[in-house]
């Protein structure tokens, strides 16, 4: 018996002897959205103030409701059902960065970022109204590119995702067919894709990989992950109908870039009023600003009132919103917060403590 006990013990102790030395990192713990994960994880490593586990916006909201983390990360505003799980506790939304959802495609014959698609056409592809690349609606805005006749493979997320939520929110604004068939509006994290040929992958990189490995495909991937996955060819310039001073109503085709995302992140007059009133939950998609990338998004850190570790969370946030952290964003595929929203975020942070 001694021998067996010793053997069993040896096997197990190999694991347990390591227990007890406390984790070297992190005072505040957070979990949630995967979209900003690389920024949060970089900032947490740099500052040593926090740890962040990317588990998806929905799980982040769930974790903060269960008080198992000190802060949550979410790309989307909570639904009423989710709000109910907080038992009346006040939740503050603090935006941390601007990002963009790029629409990459992989089509024979497309060798640069020269494809222009109206937002409504993108919506029609994802709803299944347009199923082949040689559709007249695609050809109309792309004279000079010979699109093949092949059917379109649509790459989407398999998990509930804030990226899907923001993308779906945008498409339901610009495509009647999408709004009717896929999602009636709002940040639907699991849109009921109705395109005939859909491939679902986990995470932004999964979708990026899907686009890369399927001919005649299209997908939606946050810009940073698209960059890291090497999806720099075939990024769609998304068309948005706008009133431009001096030109009247025009269709502008815009590629995602630091500049166009910054323009997309500039709040409208109505949003500015909202921000000044302390409500930072603004929707940046389909911006009317001239030159703005239409699928610009932001992401939030959720702070729950009355949590014991909120002091540490404030410290984390002031680092996140500070110059050192924000200046790192561009290399990660995001854009620093600016103007009204940044002022608003700092004000909200001040109100926390």
With a CB cutoff of 8 Å and minimum separation 6, the contacts of 194 are 127, 128, 181, 182
Q: Is 102 in the site for another protein (CB under 8 A)?
A: no
Q: Is 149 in the site for another protein (CB under 8 A)?
A: no
CB of 310 to another protein, least distance (A): 19
For 320, the enclosing helix (H) or strand (E) is helix 310-321
Check if the beta carbon of residue 337 is closer than 8 Å to that of residue 265.
Answer: yes
Q: Is 166 in the site for another protein (CB under 8 A)?
A: no
Please identify, using beta-carbon distances, which residue of 59 and 262 lies nearer to another protein: 59
CB of 158 to another protein, least distance (A): 5
With a CB cutoff of 8 Å and minimum separation 6, the contacts of 263 are 287, 289, 290, 291, 292, 293
**Between residue 60 and residue 79, which ones bind another protein under the rule CB under 8 A?**
62-63, 66-68
- Among 28, 59, 170, 320, interactor with another protein by CB under 8 A: 59
Edge-first strand order for the sheet with 237-244 is 116-118, 237-244, 248-254
Q: Helices 310-321 and 339-352: crossing angle, nearest 10°?
A: 160
In angstroms, rounded to a whole number, what is the distance separating the alpha carbons of residues 285 and 222? 14
Q: Is 56 in the site for another protein (CB under 8 A)?
A: yes
Please identify, using beta-carbon distances, which residue of 126 and 293 lies nearer to another protein: 126
**Between residue 25 and residue 54, which ones bind another protein under the rule CB under 8 A?**
25-26, 34, 38, 41-42, 45, 51-53
**Between residue 204 and residue 233, which ones bind another protein under the rule CB under 8 A?**
204-206, 208-210, 213-216, 225, 228-230
Please identify, using beta-carbon distances, which residue of 158 and 268 lies nearer to another protein: 158
- Paired strand residues for 155: 199, 219
- Among 36, 203, 264, 344, interactor with another protein by CB under 8 A: 203
Please identify, using beta-carbon distances, which residue of 49 and 280 lies nearer to another protein: 49
- Among 192, 243, 244, 273, interactor with another protein by CB under 8 A: 192
Q: Is 13 in the site for another protein (CB under 8 A)?
A: yes
Q: Is 151 in the site for another protein (CB under 8 A)?
A: yes
Q: Is 87 in the site for another protein (CB under 8 A)?
A: no
Please identify, using beta-carbon distances, which residue of 124 and 159 lies nearer to another protein: 159
CB of 144 to another protein, least distance (A): 25
Please identify, using beta-carbon distances, which residue of 24 and 269 lies nearer to another protein: 24
Q: Is 298 in the site for another protein (CB under 8 A)?
A: no
Q: Is 197 in the site for another protein (CB under 8 A)?
A: yes
Burial class of residue 86 in the structure, from the number of CB atoms within 10 Å of its CB (0-12 exposed, 13-18 middle, 19+ buried): middle
Burial class of residue 252 in the structure, from the number of CB atoms within 10 Å of its CB (0-12 exposed, 13-18 middle, 19+ buried): buried
In this structure, the chain runs to a length of: 353
Q: Helices 339-352 and 269-276: crossing angle, nearest 10°?
A: 20
Q: Is 19 in the site for another protein (CB under 8 A)?
A: yes
Q: N- to C-terminal Cα distance for the chain?
A: 59
């Amino acid at each position: 018996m001694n021998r067996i006990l010793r053997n069993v013990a040896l096997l197990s102790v190999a694991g347990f002897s390591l227990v007890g030395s406390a984790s070297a990192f992190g005072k505040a713990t957070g979990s949630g959205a995967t979209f900003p994960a690389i920024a949060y994880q970089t900032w947490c490593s740099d500052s040593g103030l926090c740890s962040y586990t990317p588990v998806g916006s929905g799980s982040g909201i769930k974790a903060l409701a269960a008080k198992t983390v000190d802060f949550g990360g979410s790309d989307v505003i909570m639904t009423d059902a989710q709000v109910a799980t907080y038992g009346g506790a006040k939740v503050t939304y603090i935006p941390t960065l601007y990002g963009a959802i790029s629409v990459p495609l992989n089509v024979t014959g497309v060798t640069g970022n020269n494809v222009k698609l109206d937002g409504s056409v993108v919506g029609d592809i994802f709803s299944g109204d347009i199923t082949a690349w040689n559709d007249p609606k695609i050809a109309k805005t792309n004279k000079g590119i010979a699109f093949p006749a092949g059917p379109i493979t649509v790459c989407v997320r398999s998990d509930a995702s804030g990226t899907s939520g923001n993308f779906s929110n945008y498409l339901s604004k610009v495509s009647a067919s999408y709004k009717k068939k896929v999602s009636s509006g709002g940040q639907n994290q699991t849109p009921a894709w109705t395109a005939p040929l859909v491939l679902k992958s986990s995470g932004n990189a999964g979708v990026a990989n899907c686009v890369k490995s399927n001919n005649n495909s299209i997908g939606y991937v946050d810009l940073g992950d698209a960059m890291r996955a090497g999806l720099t060819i075939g990024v769609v310039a998304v068309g948005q109908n706008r009133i431009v001073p001096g030109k009247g109503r025009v269709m502008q085709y815009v590629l995602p870039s630091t500049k166009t995302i910054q323009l997309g992140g500039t709040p409208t007059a109505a949003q500015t009023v909202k921000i000044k009133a302390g409500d930072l939950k603004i929707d940046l998609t389909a911006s009317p600003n001239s030159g703005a990338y239409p699928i610009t998004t932001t992401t939030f850190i959720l702070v729950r009132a009355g949590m014991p570790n909120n002091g540490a969370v404030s410290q984390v946030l002031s680092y996140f919103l500070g110059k050192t952290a924000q200046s790192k964003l561009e290399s990660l595929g995001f854009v620093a917060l600016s103007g009204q929203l940044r002022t608003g975020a700092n004000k909200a942070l001040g109100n926390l403590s």
